[in-house]
Structures are given as C-alpha cells and as structure tokens.
A and B are shown apart, each in its own frame.
Chain A
Amino acid sequence: MQDSYSVNLGFLREALVKIAIREGWQYKYAKFGKQGRSTQSLFVHSINTFSLAQILSKLLFNLSPQESLLSSVAAFFHDYQKANEKWQRAAIDFIEGRSTSNRDFAHDSGSLAMLAELRRMLEKVDVLAGTDLASQSERILRIVVYTHDAINSAAALKRKQEVGSLDTLTKVVRLCDSIASIKNAEDIKTKERDPDIPSGKQVVFEHHSVSVIRGVISSFLNEAAVELMRELGYTPLLHFGSSTAYIRIGEGITLKNPKERMKQLLLEQFRKFQDSDIYGRGMVKAVVGPLPATKWPAIHLIREDDVRVILGDISSQPFANKDEAFGKQYFEESAEKDAKKGDSGNVDALRHFVKVTRSTSQDVIIAAMVSDFNLLVYVADFVKRYSELVECANMSNEYTKNVNSWLSKDLGDFILDDIKGISHTTPASERVRVVEKLWRIGNGDLHKSADRREQILQNSIRLLVRIIKEYRDFAPPLIEDEVVTELLSDIQYIPVNLSSGNDVRELSTKISNRYQQGKSSADRLCSFCSLTSIADAPAGLFGDGSEKFSNTLQGGVRIGSKRKAQVCNLCMLEGTLRAFFFGSPPFGTMLLLPDLSLSPDGFRIWSNAVKDTIRSEHIGLGIGRSWNMLKVYEHLSSGKTLDSSSELMRMLMPTKGEIAALAEHLSQLREFPDEVGYTALLESGVPESFETLARAHIENLIEIDPHIMESFEPKYRSQRSSCFTASHVITFLKDAPSESKDEAPSTSALRLYLMALVLSDIFHARVVFINGYQPFLQTAIEGMVSVDMPAPAEIALTNLGFGHTINLHEMPSALRRLSSLIRIGMTYTKGLGKDRLLRLSSMNRGAILRRVETEGGTKMKSREKQLLLALLENMPVKAGDKWTTEVI
C-alpha cells in the first residue's frame, strides 16, 4: 500500500469521482430549493468542496501536504450523510411541495454506524488510489461532523461524546463548504467576514459577471475576463453560468490601463482560435462563404499561410474539376441560350476556342476551360474585395498599378479591369476570352502542360499572398475597436474600471439620442440583442432567423429587402465565428451550464467530457447516429446511466469500416505500426498492427499523437462541435436529430430532449437548447434541462409522465422512459409512420404490444421479445401515469 501522502492527486480525484458515482451521488441532492430551484447534486457539491479545499489549504491556511490532502478528502465527504434515504426523501418532499411532519435533515452524526459507512467508502478509495485513508476514518469523521452546526445543545454534547472535540482541520472544510454553497458569484462578497478565515490574513473576495451569453464571442470575453482577474492577483474559485467568483490574498496588482489590457487579452483569444483545429477545419467555408456562391465575407481573417489551404481546397472542389460529360452539356446549354437570344455568340466563341487550342476533344477542353474559370472566379473576387478596401483609403491608383503588374507577371495577360468582369454569371463567350488570356494561348500555351492546374494554383496563391502582404493594413482588423468596446459592455461587473469617462459619455449620448429620435426604420435595432444594428442579417450566417418577423414590420407585408432582420456588430461577429464550426448556420445550440457552480476540479471533468464527446464525433461516432444510439438507448432503458463521458465512449463501439479507414490513414503516414506515437489512456496491451492501433484509439484506450490525426478525414462529418469555458459549454448542432428527412418535427424534438438529458447526465450539468441563433440571457433554469418543445411533443412528454421540469432525482426515470420510447420506435413500430413517437407515447404498453404483434411480432426472435418486454416495463402502465420518485 502506498503512503497516502505521496499519492498522485489525479488518481485520488479519479477514485473519489468513481466512488461518488457508484454511490449514486449524481442523482442525490446536497442543495435544494422549492420546485427544484437552485439545486445542486451531492456529486458536484462534493467535487467543488474538495477543489476549494485543495486551493484554500495552501493559499489561506498554509497547511502541509499531508494535512492539505486530509482536509481535501474530508471536504469531499463532508456531506456524505446527506446520501441517506431519509435526508433525500425529506429533500424531495420539500422540492415537490409535500408537507411532512417527520422531515429529518440531520447529517452530522458521529455514530459507529456512520463511522462504518465512511470507512467502507474510504476503503474503496484506497483500493482505487493506492492510499491508506481508511485508517484515518475516525479523524475524517471528526472533521466532517463538526463542519455542520448541531441542531441543539443536546445533539452537540452527543456528538462530542461520540467523536471527541473539534479538529483543527474542521475550519478549513467548514469555510470551503460555506463558499461552495453560494448560489450566485456575487454572494462570494458575503464570505469576507467568515469566522473561519485565519486572522491576520488580508482576504478579498470578488467576482466578474457577463450579462449575456451570445456564443463563441462570450466564451472569448469570459476567458479574457478570467485572465484579467488573474493578472490582478485573483484566483478563480467557482464558475457560474456567466460569472466567476475569486479570492485574493494580500495586496492586489494595479494595471495601468486595464481596458487596453482587456483588449489585448481578447485579441489573444481570437488568435488562439485562429490556431485551433476548428479554425483550420472550418476556415474555407467561413472565410470564402458558402460554396460555390463566393463573396469572401471574412477576408480580414485570412493570414498569408491560409491562402494555400483555402485555394487548395477550392481547387479540389467538384465545380473546379469538371469532366468530359459536363463539357458536352455545357456546349449544348450554351447553344440553347444562343437559340433563345437568336444569335450564335457563345457557340462561335466556344468553337473558336477549341480551334485555337488545337484540342482533339471539344468536350474535354471546354470542361477544362470552365473548371479553370470557376477557380479564377474566387481569385478575382478576392482581388475585387481588396480593391474595395483599398479604395476607401484613396490608394486605388497604387493598388491598380501593382496588381496589374503582378497579374501580367503571374497569372495571365490581365489587368484589374478584366478581373472585375469575372463572376459566376459571366457568359460563355466572355469566359472563353478570359481563359485564353489565363492560358496565354499562342504565347505560353498553358493548356498543353501536364501540370496546368498546379501552375495556375501556385500563381494564384502567389498573387493573393502578395496582396495580403502589401495591403493587409487596409483590411479591417481582426476585431475592430468599436466591436471590442461593445463587447466589453457585455461585462456586467468586474472589479476594475474598463470604461473611460469618454466611453461613458458617448454611450449615454447615444442612448439619449436614440430615445429622443424614437423608433424609425432607418435606425433599427439588432433583432437578436437590441443593440444598434449595422446590417441586414445575412442568411448565409444566420439561416432562417434572418428573415423572421421584426418589430418594424407592417401587418400583412411580405418579408424581404428592407424588412429583413437586423444585426449588430457583435451578432455579426458571432455569426462569422460560428461559420467556422459549420459552413451553414447551425440548427441550434446546446448550452451546458454548471449544476449551480463549477470548481476547477469540476472543470477538469468537463474538459474530459468535451474531449471525449468531440472525439467520438470526430471519428464518425456522432451522437445522432442511430446504429450506435441503439446501444445507448438500450443501456439507458435497462436502468443503467451514462454518468461519465468515458462510459459513453466505451459504448460507442467502432465499426469495422471506421477501424479500416483509420488503419489505412496510419499505414499511409508510417511504414511500421511501432512508428506511430501514442499515449496510453488505460491499461492495455501494446497494439501490434495498424488495425489494433486504430481500434485502441477509437475505443479510447490510447490517444494517437494529434499531429498524426490532424490530416485524418473521418468517414462521417461531425454532427456537433463544441467550444467551452469553465462557465459554460456551447455545443452546436448541425441538424435536427432526426432519423430521416420526413420525420415530424415533434418526433425529432423528443429525440433532442433525450439528447439534452444524456448531455446533462454526462457533464453533470444543466442543459438549455437554443433554437437557431439567439443570445442567451438568463442562466438560472428550473430543472436539469430546458428545451422548447412543439405542442405535440409537450403532450407526448406529459403522456410519458414527465412534469413541467425534470429535477435531479427524476433523471434516471426520465432517461429510462424516453430512451425506451425512442428505442421501441426505432425497431418495433415502424409502420406507425413518421410521427410514431407521438402515437406510441399515447398508447398503453399492452396496446403497444398489440401493435407490435400486428407488425409481425409473432415472428420476433426470443431476444427481441425479451428486449421489447424490458423496454415496455419502463413505459407508463397507462399513458400519463407518473413514475414513482424513489430515492436511489
């Protein structure tokens, strides 16, 4: 047995988490309020108190490593007596508004039974972490018991007789519990006079809060604010959905210009994002715009090195690689257009083109011409966009001169004016003339070279890199000053002055003017967040939301042109950034908020969960994949839970196809399997072949070096993508989680609800689904999940026995019922049609059984029947019957 004080803290943390999960603490309450408001699970509360003890025992109490460890373990178990059934029953009765006379909230017993209970758990921790904590059970119990106030003097006397007098470490645990129990970040201020704070220490508690969660930019803002607070000498203690509580010991650090520093920190966040793999993966679609309709909406984000990647990607697209059949079709279509106009301009030009190129195949050369022209459209648009930017700075003449010389040198016999005429709508006759110049027919005859496209590509890259190098200063900055100022105004509170007198004055004048002028169609507000709008909401970024009703719309008018939804700078920036996650606007956002609060150790659990869930998708094992979700639903319906992300990863078994795809990728990069670098995550044998390496990576036993995985193209596209801070996780959903395209929206809403429950279970967090693009204002929600459901889906949930909200203790029953319904719908009752989940929810289980029989149930195999029976057992006896709220 290892000495408990030399134990690896990571192992100890993992062991404690495992024990708490096994004890079912994730569904038990530590904190609760009426109707499930401000509740917190025993699991999260224990982790948070443990984490605070880790920080404060060193920072505030200067404890030795041994005592620090002991106080942390005691902090973890400080509320273990709340896990007993009586306490939980009393809590549930209170939440559900039932008045009972025999509520028993005592959890400070020092009895022998409680000692045995604590020892039992500590022994389990010892087995997993290699510690020797069980031998210190008596002391830990003594610390724990005194953490709570005795209800009367008799109880105090009794516990003194049972466990002895107060332990010196009790005050550490008591202070940590007191801090871990705050419900809002601003409540931390009330702890400054806590009697457990050692005398003589100058302690300052502070917080920062953000007023709205817009999405990615709010994550950047939050991260930057935490970093600024660190620079001011504060240590983060607890994160809330949009705020963070901090502690500072001793004198603070003064920054000369905090606003300027905050700006720099924000820029650092953006640069970090530019270096992330999300940026790399989403760059082409995000900066170029939806292909093949190009406008380079985020041209200012492109760095010199990005040009190669972007143009390389465009050059490999199907529209830039047309085949012979297309050449034939293109000629025929051009002839038709000529016939309609009554001339032969296009056909003549094409024939002439074939003649001058001396090509043996008309169709092949036309296809090559169109392909190169399509690539050139993107290059031309880039040159045009920069031309517009330079024009604003009265530098047009110089730009024209330089670009003309670069064009003739690198690309073809062009001048800038020729470039301006190139677009997707250019007729065939014009296209031919442009490509003749591009190929330098009669002069260089590029079309005769085997590497024609490669030469054009390299020359285009050279041209665009030159333009960026020379004229980058004329492009808008990464984020404009005005945007930064607006973003900073999202900070509701931070203990440092970020606004100068001028800023405040400007803002007040702006508000006053807006008020005096009243509402007008010329000066409209952002449809999403009510800041001053700057433009129409582009559909490419915001999807259907951009053409929604706006408050200046007159009754009966059609939506369009001037009546489009408006966006402000911040929403526009948010939309631009989201485009990196998906080229098209996301279907919706899952926002994961802490279960009241999140400590640094809780954050570690989140990070692993995010990593696992993203990784599971990255390798093609998306949560929406029905073939994998069958296992998940069966797992949940059998009463088991998904209490950790690694559990989910273990369940999502890879198919042979995925293993083969990854194995092939590895074999292309390395000659032998032993040349593939990896980190072992779990104990496993040494993989001997590319296949075993691939399988071990997918099954989460090893992690292959990220740089090897970087270029791996997964078989399936990712369904979701996430970005996260310690205060919240944002997960974008590309599409509705439907089984098929014609599925009723209510049916996919039910699946979405289950997804929210699963995420809540994995992350031990609260989950809010935000439809389309909307900023999120209120971070306190009732229950564990909040998903706006269409009316039929609401009724289906009521039929399943779901109440208005799902509280923590109802999670296992809710997961079991909903996953059973969806699992039945997936296999047994397909004949019920596209809204089968709704219909199933209104049926008794005997009626479902009858229905399955009519769909050929008598031919079912024994295993299928057993599974159906197990699934039906979870369904209400009669539609609408509630589940019994049993304490786990």
Chain B
Amino acid sequence: MVIRMEKESELASSDEIRKTRFAVTTALIRYLETYKPAQTGESKHALMGPVGKLLSRITTTGDINWEAVKGYVLSVHKNQQAPRGVSSDAATRLDEATASLEKLRSLLPPTKWLKTVEDIDDEVFFGLYKENLVGQRRGIQKKFQTWLKSNVSLEDINALLPENEQYKSYDDIDDPFSVSTKLEDLTERFWEDYKKSKKEGTK
C-alpha cells in the first residue's frame, strides 16, 4: 500500500490573514468600549471583561456554535456591567466581532486556529492596556497644562527650549513623560505638587 501525502494549499495568504486578524482585534476592542464594568482595574482579567470568556469558548478545533457563544458573552456582559444590562450597540458590535472571527476561522486550518486565538488574546490585551494608559496620560497632560498655566508663563517655558521645540500655547505642551529633558526642573516641581495634592485628596 502506498500512502501519498500531498500538501494542502493555503486557504489565504499570510497578508490576508494578518489583515483579518487585525480586523478581529479592532472589532473586539470596539465592542469592549460599550462595556462599563462595576469594578475597574488594570489586570488582564479586568481589562478583557467578557472578551476573555469569548476567546476561551472558541479555543477549540471542533465546531463552534457562534450564536451560543454570543449569548454566553452577552450574559457575562450583562451581569458584570454597572448598571446591569447590555445596550443594543454592544450587541451589534459583538455581532461584528464574531462575524470577523468566523471569517478568520474560515481562512485558517484547525491547527493554526488555536495559536491564532492565543495571539488575538494577546493583541486585544495589549490594545486595551494601551488605551487605558493613553487615557491616563491624557488626564495627566491636562493636569500638567493647568499647573503650568498657573505657575509658569509660556515665555519662561519657551526660554528653556531651542527655537524649533518651542510651544505656541499651553495646549500644545505634551504630558510630563514626553516633554524635553530641558524642562526637567518644571516636571519635577509638577510631580511634587501632584503628589501633595493627591495626598490631600485622600485625606
């Protein structure tokens, strides 16, 4: 008996897979924008919310009942949301996300699917972590700008910088993590005041 092994042709190019994977990640993050948990946190579990449950449900090489998955995810969403409930927008976005997941699965052989779900899990987590930090950063930037307005004149700030790095208004000034090292003294003073005001706030 002769066993002939033939290589299956790829279902899609790596570029197409990458693009679809990216679409899945974006759709999942977009869906999570509708999710407002009762308790917030920075841990992976807290950030991923119902998407964590979704991905664990589809980590299988067998058949997936997508409608059942959606129902399960929406139920988790509803229970963890404060106030409890799911908006119609959330359901629509979840539909879009699962549709793109379904499409991605159709492009991949079963052996690659499990690893890809793991990759998506990582990518979504990274995206959420980033959004969370960027939000914090924007908040700090606003506080920094307000602090500068009440403590230092724009001329004095610009006097510390070379011509091509000078600011036109306070609103152009970056957050204290990103400004030039030439403003180091100012950022240090800001952080001191910031810590003081935070302590006073907690009292």
Contact A869 B133 (CB under 8 A): yes
The interface-forming segment of B85-93, B118-126, B151-159 is B118-126
Contact A844 B43 (CB under 8 A): no
Chain A residue contacts of B124, Cβ below 8 A: 846
Flag whether B66 is at the interface (Cβ < 8 A). no
Contact A849 B137 (CB under 8 A): no
- Nearest B-chain residue to A854, judged by Cβ: B44
Contact A869 B130 (CB under 8 A): yes
Contact A844 B123 (CB under 8 A): yes
Contact A869 B119 (CB under 8 A): no
Interface size on A, residues (CB 8 A): 19
Known: A863-B177, A881-B18. A850 touches B133 (CB 8 A): no
Contact B123 A862 (CB under 8 A): no
Chain A residue contacts of B136, Cβ below 8 A: 862
- Nearest B-chain residue to A127, judged by Cβ: B163
Contact B126 A845 (CB under 8 A): yes
What 1/0 mask marks residues of chain B from 70 to 106 whose CB sits below 8 Å from any chain A CB?
0000000000000000000000000000000000000
Known: A849-B129, A865-B133, A866-B137. A877 touches B44 (CB 8 A): no
Cα separation A243 to B136 with both chains bound (whole Å): 58
Cα separation A877 to B140 with both chains bound (whole Å): 27
What is the interface residue range for chain B against chain A?
20 to 34
Flag whether B33 is at the interface (Cβ < 8 A). no
- Nearest B-chain residue to A862, judged by Cβ: B136
Contact A849 B43 (CB under 8 A): no
Flag whether A878 is at the interface (Cβ < 8 A). yes
Chain B residue contacts of A850, Cβ below 8 A: 44, 122, 125
- Nearest B-chain residue to A843, judged by Cβ: B122
The contact of A844 among B122, B129, B177, by CB within 8 Å, is: B122
Give the dominant DSSP class at B's interface: helix
A884 to chain B, nearest CB (A): 11
Contact A853 B137 (CB under 8 A): no
Contact B18 A869 (CB under 8 A): no
What 1/0 mask marks residues of chain A from 842 to 884 whose CB sits below 8 Å from any chain B CB?
0011110110010000100011011101001100011001000
B167 to chain A, nearest CB (A): 19
Cα separation A279 to B90 with both chains bound (whole Å): 75
Contact B133 A866 (CB under 8 A): yes
The contact of B125 among A846, A866, A878, by CB within 8 Å, is: A846
B117 to chain A, nearest CB (A): 12
Flag whether B42 is at the interface (Cβ < 8 A). yes
- Nearest B-chain residue to A865, judged by Cβ: B133
The contact of A846 among B43, B121, B137, by CB within 8 Å, is: B121
- Nearest A-chain residue to B18, judged by Cβ: A881
Chain A residue contacts of B43, Cβ below 8 A: 853, 858
Chain A residue contacts of B123, Cβ below 8 A: 844-846, 877-878
- Nearest B-chain residue to A863, judged by Cβ: B177
Cα separation A872 to B42 with both chains bound (whole Å): 17
Chain B residue contacts of A873, Cβ below 8 A: 130
Chain B residue contacts of A865, Cβ below 8 A: 133
Q: Which of B21, B122, B123, B130 has the most CB of A within 10 A?
A: B122
Please give the residue numbers on chain A whose beta carbons come within 8 Å of chain B beta carbons, in ascending order: 844-847, 849-850, 853, 858, 862-863, 865-867, 869, 872-873, 877-878, 881
Closest 9 CB pairs of A and B: A846-B122, A844-B122, A846-B126, A846-B125, A866-B177, A847-B122, A845-B126, A878-B119, A869-B133
29 contacts between A and B (CB under 8 A): A844-B119, A844-B122, A844-B126, A845-B122, A846-B121, A846-B122, A846-B124, A846-B125, A846-B126, A846-B129, A847-B122, A849-B44, A849-B122, A849-B125, A849-B129, A850-B44, A850-B125, A853-B44, A858-B42, A862-B140, A862-B177, A863-B177, A866-B133, A867-B177, A869-B130, A873-B130, A878-B18, A878-B21, A881-B18
